[in-house]
Structure 1
């Protein structure tokens, strides 16, 4: 008896110690194959820097289609991981229009839209019936009086609802980390947009500027006015340029002066970063608006060739055609009956990767949607000791037309001669990194600078052979989302590619890692579920009862037999 009592006391003491240890020592284990519930070090860093309370409202509740219920489940599990890391993070799932009247629903929808939350119509299929419901696949992060919208449903070209949700689940950590960063962190880097060589107007790159401005400070900047203003010293301008972490030139159309080239060259020699979206071809769709429906593309003279050549890059002004391309939308009908129809248009190459298997290329372009180009040239890379990474290229069925040439809408519908597409993987976007040699080495300098440099520090250039990659469409004077084609409803990956590139150039690689996270989510086959519904209902409800009844029968029979004996 005394031994039993002692054992009981020991067990009780052990249980108390285990409970105390469990309260003070906390550890979660992720046993999934793809580590989907393991929060990355970059996200943890953002959470640690966000020291104030965080409130997250997720608008995924109520009656939802099956794929959205899966997204809700995964979102809840991920937020649980975030809450385990941040003691002051609270989250809740809610349906913003639950029990609301039509008038209240309209008012709530407008209020959510003002915060960046857009509603979408989804279909619930159950028992052979379809019901349309409005869903808001967003979360709102409230931090320090600031509200940030987090989109949870990713748009994927030509994808089923399940594929979209699967892609969205892959992006969950990135979307929340991105939202937390926007809400809690101060901008510490500055990006300059050059506005002095007849570049794209602010409204034509409004969404791109806005996207960059969410992460970094943005400033318009000009260099060309130096050639007409004697009161400004080039040295002072260069000193201002050196304060920028990145300089972007969005589709210049006027030739560079030697002064501008030299200042950009010396900026690069000081370790600067540049993104040049240069259009080597003069060609716009407006040129096709004539009776002949023809246009004659010409080379664009930008006075850049010698500078780029010294850096190991060359812009080709041949017009690229590709069998892998985006459509061109043309109007049919008149007046109120006007509609747009999409036609194959090989002058709009699309690309989301290249044959470059380097880690850098894969890092920037992994999981991209197709990036759309319009009337683009191509790029040659030259050997000069600078590291070149081909980020995007054409398909293996492309060709390059020598200028001048003719582009005609009459080509639409004609039989394609596949054999003529005999070029493959023409580079469209190239990253060059290394210690560059000045384009003005052993040359007469256009202006005097203090201590000019011929051999530079580690620097980087991204050259894109089409300025329209940065261009958004405009509707009623408002810039639309970059990459979205109003007339076809297609969303391309232009913005994601550009933001990945900018993040890389500014050594902000944590966000790219999160974008590239791979998670595979299994989904039920809805047709198989309907076909086998009765079988699984029987297995899950009737069969367990039959098993219990069988055990009961056997038990009673054995007991009766025992007492009869």
Structure 2
């Protein structure tokens, strides 16, 4: 008897009906489940918030291309692609991507295009790859470009701290991909999100007159030069997300310190770049000068907040260079770079959103710092010197003749001195139990409040070097003598982004992906065993199962025959 048609078709109807319902639901309900232990395919809430603001599609050009890339570079390349795909899954507008080789541009426009990439911070890297004829050099651009219908920006992704192994640098670069991409997107869709004040009126900003800070933050923040003498009350500073004091040369009055104190206690962010020793660099060009203790009145404020900048200078074996005159060539003076222990590079960073993954930062005449008791204030050191440092107390004689003296490593017996601190928490006013300036309303005075303060013992940290030829300021972090670009600019940008929104996209820089390398010793010892397990055992299992099935079939059907 034949089965009814409906009875036969019912399973197929249920199957295709279920598939249809699943397809419809997938269009209505969008969800992702990240089953990885480190949540590699999930995004920080700050990132999701920025993506939610997209009003038009974006396109990402992945510049890391090339034949026969090493395994690590292929891994980074694949990670950029996966990050873009993850962003697209969370974005209300499409984020597409494609691979683009900058070297494929017409020869006439290629040099100009590469210069544009360098302006975005995407410096080319010379890589040695395996070819049939042996190893050959190949120029790669480990970065990406992000564009909408009108604008374009880009970022470098291959970044790491000095001293890291190549595997660690790659891993850290992958960890920071989310931040680099969302920071570029945010720059496109919401430029100049907050205001920053640079205090003037006390000889601040030094040799570059603030150019380094303005150039570094241009397009992302609005920068204003603000004389404190024009502020009538603390509320006049409240419109600024961050206030920066850079290398003052004159003292601050009680009135001005009161304004800064109340600004912090009302939730403001204060950055102080202060020298503990005054060094006349122009006098140093003559051969010798004297470094004298230097105070501006800000020391009392910082002491109440839990920090002290000492009247000394740090020397470090990881030294930089200083230009010295080395005689004449004809009628032209010859300049020669010489090692200078007062200029040094710091590459040991705290695992913090501001400093994680930074390359070396250049310091000039930096002073040491100590913490003091301040209840309610958390003190986080950000950058440290190398393992070979020493401190010279002021007053001291500073002479260019020191460049010709080979330093004795035994005298550099201090290690990892902190060069900058982040202070955050509940601050107590420096004017508590003191008379405040009479011109301010006592009813508005706050004895304590929450804010954030960043302090560096180097007033020139965010000042650009000057071009030797025409005296114009260079890009922040660019070193003429060393032909190196230091991470001062990135440090500044990370710092102001953290102060503006510590829970925003900058917090994604804390992501950590665990490196799980194979134990090479164990691999060598157990190689044969695991080869047997993976190659021979499956074959034996299949033969065993086949033998059992053959035996059962022979017993069942052999008797019937």
Q: Shorter-normalised TM-score: what interval? A: 0.7 to 0.9
Give the aligned partner of residue 546 of structure 2.
none
Residues 295-304 or 199-208, more deviating: 199-208
* Deviations 1:325-347, CA, capped at 9 Å, x for gaps: 33325466866997865636265
Could you tell me how far 1:298 is from its partner in structure 2?
1.2
In the alignment, structure 2 segments of 5+ residues that lack a partner are 519-530, 544-561
Q: Is the 8 A contact 2:68 2:131 kept in 1?
A: no
Aligned twin of 2:483: 489
1:562 aligned partner? none
Query: 2:297 is matched with which residue?
Result: 303
Deviation at 1:455, TM superposition (A): 0.7
Calculate the aligned-residue CA RMSD, in Å: 3.8
1:32-78: CA deviation from partner (whole Å, max 9, x where unpaired) = 55433333332222111113221222233454643544432221222
Separation in 2 of the partners of 1:377 and 1:57?
A: 44
Q: Which residue of 1 aligns with 2:548?
A: none
Structure 1 partner of 2:320: 327
2: CA distance, partners of 1:486 / 1:256: 34
Matched, 1:369 2:362: no
Cα gap change, 1:514/1:281 in structure 2, threshold over 3 Å: closer, same or farther?
A: same
Scaled by the length of structure 1, what TM-score is found?
0.77
Would the aligned equivalents of 1:155 and 1:491 in 2 still touch at CA under 8 Å? no
Distance 2:347 2:115 in 1: 36
- The 3 A distance-change label for structure 1 pair 152 and 480 is farther
Which residue does the alignment assign to 1:178? 183
The one of 18, 26, 44 equivalent to 1:40 is 44
> Separation in 2 of the partners of 1:509 and 1:211?
22
The 2-side partners of 1:285 and 1:306 are apart by 27
Q: Which position in structure 2 is the counterpart of 1:465?
A: 457
Taking structure 1 as reference, are residues 158 and 492 closer, same or farther at Cα in structure 2, changes over 3 Å only? farther
Residue 160 and residue 111 in structure 1: after superposition, are their counterparts in 2 closer, same or farther (change >3 A)? same
Q: Which residue of 1 is the match for residue 95 of structure 2?
A: 89
**Does residue 456 in structure 1 map to residue 444 in structure 2?**
no
Give yes or no for contact 2:160–2:357 (8 Å, CA) kept in 1.
Answer: no
Asked whether the equivalents of residues 63 and 102 of structure 2 are also in contact (C-alpha less than 8 Å), the reply is: yes
Shift, 1:138, TM fit: 3.3
Aligned mates of 1:294, 1:240 — CA distance in 2: 44
Q: Equivalences for 1:72-471 in 2 at 5 Å?
A: 72-86=77-91, 87-98=93-104, 101-106=106-111, 108-109=113-114, 119=124, 121-143=126-148, 145-154=150-159, 157=162, 164-185=169-190, 187-201=192-206, 203=208, 205-223=210-228, 226=229, 235=232, 238-283=234-279, 286-290=282-286, 293-323=287-317, 325-330=318-323, 343=339, 345=341, 348=344, 350=346, 352-353=348-349, 362-391=352-381, 392-394=383-385, 397-412=388-403, 414=405, 416-418=407-409, 420-423=411-414, 426-451=417-442, 452-453=444-445, 455-471=447-463
Give the 5 Å matches for 1:20-31: 20-22=21-23, 24-25=25-26, 27-31=31-35
Q: Give the superposition deviation at 1:481.
A: 4.1
Structure 2 matches for 1:453-532, cutoff 5 A? 453=445, 455-475=447-467, 479-519=473-513
Following superposition, the deviation at residue 200 of structure 1 comes to: 1.7
CA distance in 2, matches of 1:340, 1:353: 31
Cα distance change, pair 88–299 in 1 and its aligned pair in 2 (3 A): same
Deviation at 1:180, TM superposition (A): 0.9
**Aligned in 2, Cα 1:367/1:62: closer, same or farther, shift over 3 Å?**
closer
TM-score, normalised on structure 2?
Answer: 0.77
Segment of structure 1 superposing worse, 150-159 or 515-524: 515-524
Gaps of 5+ in 1: 227-231, 355-360, 525-538, 552-565
Taking the aligned partners of 2:85 and 2:211, their CA distance within structure 1 comes to 36
Query: SS of 2:308's equivalent?
Result: strand
Counterpart Cα distance in 1 of 2:490 and 2:261: 28
| Post-superposition offset of 1:248 | 0.6
Is contact 1:351-1:372 (8 Å) kept? no
- In the alignment, the residues of structure 2 paired with residue 303 and residue 137 of structure 1 have an alpha-carbon distance, to the nearest angstrom, of 46
Deviations 1:72-119 (A, max 9, x none): 222122212222223422222222442x55324345446666777655
* Mapped partners of 2:454, 2:116: distance in 1: 40
Alignment size in residue pairs: 509
Q: Go from structure 1 to structure 2 and tell me whether the alpha carbon gap of 1:337 and 1:151 turns closer, same or farther (over 3 Å shift).
A: farther
Higher alpha-carbon deviation: 384-393 or 412-421 = 412-421
CA-CA distance at 1:247 after TM superposition: 0.8
Partner residue, 1:55: 59
Q: 1:467 aligns to what SS in structure 2?
A: coil
Residue 364 of structure 2 aligns to a residue in which SS? coil
Q: Tell me the SS of whatever aligns to 2:430.
A: coil
Which of 485-494 and 105-114 deviates more?
Answer: 105-114
* 8 Å contact from structure 1 (residues 205, 479) kept in 2: no
Q: 1:276-334 CA deviation, whole Å, 9 max, x = no partner?
A: 111121126554433xx4332111232333333333332211222344x3332546686
